[in-house]
């Protein structure tokens, strides 16, 4: 059912994923040069692209899409729970990719994490809260079926 609390958690996780598109993931300082790590590339001060991060963009897009699809699969709660777990693994991959691009893109750089570096943790928590809500619904439905 769309009006359940897990729908709110999944929707908030999708919105949090979209917020990553608007804030920088990290700021890199190396030898007086300043680089900005966005969701799809690493740019120097003058706006030139140093390295692309399309893998991060792809994983983020799939994660947001899975959140939205999971909302509308309310009739199949077991699939919803699985998708929440898979999406949590994708969010962990986002954390790993952001660390990879932040520390490997510009050698010997000082990294200052932005707000988008912490949003995947929020997405992970929201996905787990949605999974717990779906699990409670499944237990409730099974207990009602036993009574019949």
Ordered per-residue pLDDT tens for the chain, 148 residues: 567 889 999 999 999 999 999 998 888 888 788 888 888 888 888 888 888 888 889 999 999 999 999 999 988 989 999 999 999 999 999 999 888 888 877 777 788 888 888 999 999 999 999 999 999 988 988 888 776 5
Identify the residue whose tokens are 């988008």. Answer: 116
Contacts 24+ apart (CB under 8 A), 137-141: 137/4, 137/6, 137/77, 138/77, 138/78, 138/81, 141/77
pLDDT for res 41: 84
Cα separation, 20 vs 15, in Å, equals 9
Cα separation, 131 vs 121, in Å, equals 15
Average pLDDT, the chain: 88
pLDDT for res 147: 65
């Amino acid at each position: 059912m769309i009006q359940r609390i897990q729908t709110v958690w999944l929707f908030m996780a999708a919105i949090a994923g979209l917020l990553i598109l608007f804030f920088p993931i990290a700021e890199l300082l190396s030898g007086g040069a300043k680089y900005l790590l966005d969701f799809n590339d690493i740019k120097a001060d003058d706006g030139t692209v140093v390295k692309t991060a399309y893998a991060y963009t792809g994983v983020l897009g799939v994660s947001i899409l899975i959140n939205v699809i999971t909302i509308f699969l309310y009739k199949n709660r077991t699939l919803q729970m699985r998708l929440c777990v898979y999406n949590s693994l994708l969010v962990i991959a986002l954390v790993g990719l952001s660390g990879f691009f932040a520390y490997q893109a510009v050698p010997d750089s000082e990294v200052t994490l932005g707000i988008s570096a912490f949003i995947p943790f929020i997405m992970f928590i929201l996905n787990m809260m949605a999974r717990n809500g779906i699990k409670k619904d499944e237990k409730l439905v099974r207990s009602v079926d036993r009574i019949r």
